[in-house]
Amino acid sequence: MICKRRTSFTVNGMQKTVEIEGRKLLSDVLRQDLRLTGTHVGCEHGVCGACTVIMDGKTVRSCLTFGVQAEGAKIETIEGLADTPKNLHPVQRAFWEKHGLQCGFCTPGMVLAAKALLEENPDPTEEEIREGMGGNICRCTGYVFIVDSVKAAAEAMQSEGA
């Protein structure tokens, strides 16, 4: 008999309640139960960072988090940053301007990692960007244009904030 637990949390500001089997990963809950398929699963063992979401203000790997652990949490996924191409977040705009993506599979995790980094350190050096984004792997870009994107996003966010 499969035991499910009723779990409540917010995703992108919306209250959600889901019946979740204990072993089900948060990545699968988001993708399958809530149909938020912008969160991608690249390795299922916590190395590649494609499944990165923001939970209570911190980046977590949703493939290493059980859905039931989200009880009471505030979760932010890529879908929370912009709902159409017309209202992109500065980080998303910077990735577009600087060609910070190719196949796009790692991109939602990258964008969220960059956003979290810039919220903590609004003016990072290149070394701090490479360190701060080091938990995410991209196989297409060789990182050069992602680093440029994060720099450009930092500048844009600072000038917009100023």
Partner 1 sequence: MSEMTLQPKLFGARVKRVEDPRFLIGKARYVDDIVRPDMLHAAFVRSHMAHADIASVDATEALAVPGVHAVVTGADIVGQTQDLRADSRYDGWQTSITPILANDRVRFVGEMVAAVVAEDRYVAEDGGEMVSVDFEPREPVASIEAALRDDAPMLHDGWKDNCFIKRQFEGGDPDGAFREAYGTLDLDLRNNRYSGIPMETRGCVAEYDVGTEQLTLWTSTQMPHIIRTSLADLLGLPEHQIRVVSPEVGGGFGIKGQLYPEEVAVSLLAIRTGRPVKWIEDRQEHLMASIHAREHHHRIEVAYAEDGRVLALRAKIYVDCGAYSVFPWTAAMEAGMAMGNLPGPYRIRHYEAENYSVATNKSPLGPYRGVARPAAVFSIERVMDEVAAALGMDPFEVRRRNVIRPDEFPYQTVTGLNIDSGSFIESMDKVCEMADYEGLRRMQEEARKEGRCIGIGTGIYTEQTGHTHQEFAKRGVQVVPGYDAIMVRMDPSGKVLVQAGAHNHGQGHETTIAQVVADQLTIPLEDVRYVYGDTMSTPYGTGTFASRTAVLSGGAAVRATVRIRDRLFQFASHVLEVGPDDLELHEGKVRVKGAPQLNVPIRDLARWAYHRSEKLPENMEAALEAVATYDAPPGTGTFTNAAQIALVEVDPETGKVEILKYFVVEDCGRMINPLVVEGQIHGGLAQGIGGALYEELVYDSEGQLLTTTFLDYLLPGFGDIPPIEIEHLETPSPFTINGVKGMGEGGAIAPPAVIAGAVEDALRALGSVFVNEVPLTPGRVRGFVESARSKAGDG
DSSP state string for 102-146: SS-SSHHHHHHHHHHHHHH-SS--HHHHHHHTTT---SSSTTHHH
Q: Which of 7, 59, 65, 107 is the binder for partner 1 (CB under 8 A)? A: 107
**115 is an interface residue for partner 1 by CB under 8 A:** no
- How far is 143 from 63, CA to CA, in rounded Å? 23
Rg of the chain over Cα atoms, rounded to whole angstroms, equals: 16
**23 is an interface residue for partner 1 by CB under 8 A:** yes
For residue 6, the cross-strand partners are 19
Range in contact with partner 1 (rule: CB under 8 A) among 3-11, 66-74, 114-122, 132-140: 132-140
To partner 1, the closest distance from the beta carbon of 92 in angstroms equals 4
Q: Give the x/- contact pattern for partner 1 in 67-106, rule: CB under 8 A.
A: ----------xxx-xxxxx--x---x--xxx-x-xxxxxx
Q: Which of 39, 52, 59, 62 is the binder for partner 1 (CB under 8 A)? A: 39
Whether 150 and 122 have beta carbons less than 8 Å apart is answered as: no
**52 is an interface residue for partner 1 by CB under 8 A:** no
**128 is an interface residue for partner 1 by CB under 8 A:** no
57: phi > 0 → left, psi -120 to 50 → alpha, else beta; which?
A: left
- How far is 103 from 48, CA to CA, in rounded Å? 15
Binding site for partner 1 (CB under 8 A): 2, 21, 23-24, 31, 35-45, 47-48, 50, 77-79, 81-85, 88, 92, 95-97, 99, 101-108, 111, 126, 129-131, 133-134, 136-147
